[in-house]
Amino acid sequence: MLALVSSTDPQWVDVALSNLDAVLVDHLHCELKAASNATSLITRYLYHPALVRGLGELAREELTHVQQVHDELARRGLSARPPDEDVYAASLRRALKDHGAEPLLDRLAVGAIIEARSCERFQLLAQHAPTPELRAWYHDLFASEARHYRLFASLAEEIHGVERARDRIQRLAEREAEILSKLPVLPRVH
């Protein structure tokens, strides 16, 4: 269902579960970036009604996730801190440059792949997190990221045509697997 061409390194689950606090601190920024990316796409592409509607709903949902992660941090007595450098997302944004710029299509493809990878990893946390409450929460997040992946992919197909959109997302998925294989396994969402 997801476009990903690689699976997360099995070590990641152990690394994440042994420092779930760090994962949560990073997760807060992922949700914030997801909301602000959606808002920025709406601002830039206001003339695409399907995009404005779909990403407006997505941004609202991401802000709900921001609040949920923030609440979980508070329950654990943790506070947010500034984000670490996001090498993964920055590398993805650069990844398609060699194949000619397609500004909107590329942003939708990057959105689709980030949501897909988050979806895959939240599913792992839904299976392995230490408490039933956390497993249920990560399961909800997994389902939500699956919907977000489908939204980005379907907007790309609607606006740019099915074949071009699938080709671009596939190409990016291949680059994403290479990028991820070169990054250290850290207690982060990506």
| Chain contacts with Fe ion (rule: CB under 5 A) | 31, 34, 62, 65, 115, 145, 148
Return all residues near 10 (Cβ < 8 A) that are at least 6 apart: none
Measured CA to CA, the distance from residue 50 to residue 55 in angstroms comes to: 8
Where helices occur in 45-102 by DSSP H, the ranges are 49-75, 87-95
Tokens 């699956």 appear where? 146
Based on CB atoms, which residue is closest to Fe ion, 14 or 50?
50
Measured from the CB of residue 69, what is the shortest distance to Fe ion in angstroms? 9
Phi, psi (deg, nearest 5) at residue 99: -105, 25
CA 91 to chain centre: 14
Q: How far is the CB of 135 from Fe ion (least distance, A)?
A: 17
For the CB of residue 118, give the shortest distance to Fe ion in the complex, in Å.
Answer: 6
Contact 145, 119 (CB under 8 A): yes
Contact 56, 152 (CB under 8 A): no
Tell me whether residue 72 or residue 115 sits nearer to Fe ion (CB atom). Answer: 115
Task: Using the structure block, give the residue that is written with the tokens 């606006």.
Answer: 159
Instruction: Kindly tell me which of 25 and 34 has the beta carbon lying closer to Fe ion.
Output: 34
Quote the least distance from Cβ 148 to Fe ion, whole Å. Answer: 4
Of residues 68 and 164, the one with the C-beta less far from Fe ion: 68
Shortest distance in whole angstroms from residue 99 CB to Fe ion:
25
Closer CB to Fe ion, 39 or 167, in the complex: 39
